[in-house]
Amino acid sequence: MALDDKSKEPLYVQLYGILKNEIESGAIAPGEQIPTEIELVDKYNVSRITVRNALKKLTEDNYVVRYKGRGSFVPDKQYKRSLNSTQSFTDMCRELGYKPGAHVIKCCLEDASKDDINDLDLREGDKVVVVERLRFADGTPVSLEITHFTEDFDFLLQENLNDCSMYEVIREKYNIIFSSSRKILELKFANYEWAKYLGIPDNLLLRSLNSVVRATEGKKAQRSLQLIVGTKFKLLI
């Protein structure tokens, strides 16, 4: 399809529309690289600025992910999760027909930080159980979970939390059910460590979900930070 330089619609918007349609139709499949800047310049006889503006808009709208030195790619399929529940990641994956996975990065007892003390109603000198896990859907790393439990949950230090639902372990073995949570959604740039775990470029924007969760009796039980790859995971509000 040729671009119309007589149209009132800017050329970059026209090019954006063409590429967007190719992505949505599957002509350019998830995980596939789209044509390079030079190829698009030659194909559509437009300036490099026009191409860059079109790619920028595609990136902003999550139709492509741009990797420095590699090019622009259509993101892999997105996984969906609702913010309006305390449903575990594992249960969500099962419900949607995906295979859940988890890899423990860290599980230890630490001194409570100022944020722990404020968010979990702790005192100076209290301890927290810190569990960091990389989460997978169909083998794809989609989020990094950093959870701080009150010391009552020190039984987690003896559990194997790889490739399982931590909520399920807590519910089935210890009869503790999480009933409510407060969530704050923000955007954060991936640092080197997060990017390495998630297999993404440095400084890619991540969806950051902060939660404070209560157990059935109403006592604050845990605070967590979930760093979610926006190109792979869609949050439903």
Cα(161)–Cα(199) distance, integer angstroms: 21
Cα(235)–Cα(207) distance, integer angstroms: 9
More confident of the two residues 111 and 6: 111
Query: What are the chain's domains?
Result: 11-73 (1.10.10.10), 79-236 (3.40.1410.10)
Residue 129: the pLDDT is: 98
Max distance between CA atoms of the chain, in angstroms, equals 70
**84 falls in which pLDDT band (50, 70, 90)?**
low
Cα(3)–Cα(26) distance, integer angstroms: 21
Q: DSSP label at 202?
A: T
Rg value, the chain, Cα: 22
Measuring CA to CA, which residue among 109, 182, 121, 180 is closest to residue 148?
Answer: 109
Q: What is the pTM of this model?
A: 0.66
Residue 44: the pLDDT is: 92
The tens digit of pLDDT for each residue in 161-190 reads: 999 999 889 999 999 988 877 788 888 889
More confident of the two residues 20 and 203: 20
Measuring CA to CA, which residue among 97, 102, 6, 5 is closest to residue 50?
Answer: 5
Q: DSSP label at 36?
A: P
**Token representation of residue 42:** 């030659």
pLDDT for residue 234 is more than 60: no
Query: Phi/psi of residue 206, each to 5°?
Result: -110, 150
pLDDT for residue 149 is more than 90: yes
pLDDT for residue 18 is more than 80: yes
The tens digit of pLDDT for each residue in 208-224 reads: 889 999 987 789 999 99
Inter-residue contact 93 to 132 (CB < 8 Å): no
pLDDT for residue 123 is more than 80: yes
